[in-house]
Amino acid sequence: MFMKHRRLFNALIVTGCILALFSVDLSAEMRKGAISLNPQIGGFVFEGNQNIDNDLTYGLGIGYSFDENWAAEGNFNYVDTESVSPRGEDVEAYLYRLDALYHFMPDSKLVPYVAAGIGAIRVDGGVDDTGTDPLLNYGAGLKYFLTDNMAIRGDVRHLVVDGSSGNEIDNNLIYTFGLTYLFGGEKKMAAAPPPPAPAPQLVVPEVKPAPAPEPMPEPKPEPVAPAPAPEPVTPPPPPPAPEAKVIVLDDIHFDFDKATLTDEAKSLLKQNLQTMKDNPGMKVRIEGHACAHGPEDYNLRLSDRRANAVKEYLVNGGVSADRLSTISYGETRLAMPEVPTPQNKNSNEAKANRRVHFEVLFQ
């Protein structure tokens, strides 16, 4: 019986892996409407007065997410053990549970949760306390997402079992480790970036020509000879219009899936920092961008971290924070056209798109 159930458990894990390979284009982490498949292995601890050895447990759970936080799961576990007696008679336990789960931080890779539910346990074999008894359970666990649709999972539950005598409570414990596969569900849409601010216009003050001098009164004619007429006065030419001062700050680039500054980026930022110090009236908008690899909502958050990393560097270098603003565009404004594949994440196009761009707003 033990080998039969172990082969069934291994088959479920292989089936889940195959299904996960065909669902790689779905959305990531906890999501509304997703169905989960949860193969698991762990340990089951019986209370001492039940006279049953603690042993391994195998199980499978199927769940449904009502939203990003709340989900329901149905779980089945099997325990193949023996009684605590000189004869060591075979004992089998079958555990059925229906649980409610609440997930914290559903958008992150590490998702803790709490759970509680009802169910029943059936014990067969060489012990006095056999049959099916109702139970309550509560506990907590963690999920860590390895991909958009697959996570490793750890879970521990306290089982409060209403014993067959009707007037005693058995306290059992089950702890499991396994995998969670997600299928379907609604993908969150990334918020549309705000339209770019209009380019600043340089206002050139109007220069008016100097007024012509008032005409001099004509002299009274002399009795001998009339005075010569005055020569006309030519007004001076207007001064040339001032030339607009153009300032360009160099873009910096990042490694794949990183928001930390490289040595090359820091070298360019030192030059940009000095330019801002030389022009104290200049304000700058820092634009964060990402390449097209990965989900849109993740790339939007990644580009925001890149923009804020650059802002922090400039502020630490002595630029006032009120001269700086940030905006994140994710993968919506690629510098070069890019078709993402697993093999071209370090292509010239992808490297060019993982950047921070500086927009000079006022000089």
User: 62, 64, 80: which is closest to 72 by C-alpha?
Assistant: 64
Higher per-residue confidence, 209 vs 343: 343
User: 346, 350, 317: which is closest to 331 by C-alpha?
Assistant: 350
* Count of Cβ atoms closer than 10 Å to residue 327 Cβ: 17
Between 74-83, 203-212, 335-344, the lowest mean confidence (pLDDT) is in: 203-212
Superfamily of domain 252-362: OmpA-like domain (3.30.1330.60)
Block residue for tokens 């070069």: 336
Residues 33-92: tens digit of each pLDDT: 899 999 999 999 998 888 888 999 999 999 999 998 999 999 999 999 998 877 778 899
Q: Which two tokens stand for residue 244?
A: 């607009």
The reported pLDDT for the residue numbered 36 is 94
Q: Which two tokens stand for residue 134?
A: 């109702």
The reported pLDDT for the residue numbered 8 is 53
Gyration radius of the chain's alpha carbons? 37
Q: Which two tokens stand for residue 214?
A: 């008032």
Residue 167 dihedral angles phi and psi, to the nearest 5°: -130, 15
Please give the class, per CATH, of domain 13-183: mainly beta
Query: Domain map of the chain by residue range?
Result: 13-183, 252-362
Our CA angle for 174, 175, 178, nearest 5°, is 130
Residue 138 near residue 100, CB atoms below 8 Å: no
Pairing of strands 131-145, 55-65: unpaired
Q: Which two tokens stand for residue 5?
A: 């159930």
The reported pLDDT for the residue numbered 26 is 41
Residue 289 near residue 355, CB atoms below 8 Å: yes
